Amino acid sequence: MASSYSKELAAIREAAGSAIGRQRDVLDTSARILADAARLAGRYGRTDLGPRVRDEYDARLAPLISSGFSAGRKLLKKTPLAPRKSGLGGYIATGFAIALVAGAAYLAWQVLREDNDAWVDDEFDVD
């Protein structure tokens, strides 16, 4: 009776070894396919996609950007900038800005600090 178990166990081991070998073959094949696909995608990007994107950028986007810069420069040249005078309103706005930054920093500190006493124990009596 013990020999029949050992024969069955040997058959199961052989089947498992064969399955593992087939899985390794599948993984090796899929790794090769993935490497070939990555290589093909890189070549496609360099030879076909990259030049097309560069041409479209040069033809459509670069002129828009340069015309936007030139329009901005013309607008700045036309608009006279008055010298800034700091009055009471400037000091009040600066004070509000400092208070706002301090409040945001305090809020961030409160949220991010570690407080072990802040948690309520899950153990409670319900009688």
The dihedral sign for the CA sequence 57, 58, 63, 65: positive
Average pLDDT of the chain to the nearest whole number: 83
Q: What is the pLDDT of residues 29-79, one digit of tens each?
A: 999 999 999 999 999 988 988 888 888 888 888 888 888 888 888 887 887
Q: Which two tokens stand for residue 52?
A: 């097309």
Secondary structure (DSSP) of 15-63? HHHHHHHHHHHHHHHHHHHHHHHHHHHHHHIIIIIHHHHHHHIIIIIHH
In this prediction, residue 71 carries a pLDDT of 86
For residue 88, what pLDDT band results from cuts at 50, 70 and 90? confident
Is the pLDDT higher at 14 or at 76?
Answer: 14
Determine which helix (DSSP H) or strand (DSSP E) holds 91, and give its type and residue range: helix 88-112
In this prediction, residue 60 carries a pLDDT of 82
Q: Which two tokens stand for residue 86?
A: 């700091």
59 DSSP assignment: I
Beta strands in 31-120 (DSSP E): none
Is 60 exceeded by the pLDDT of residue 124?
no
CA 14 to chain centre: 46
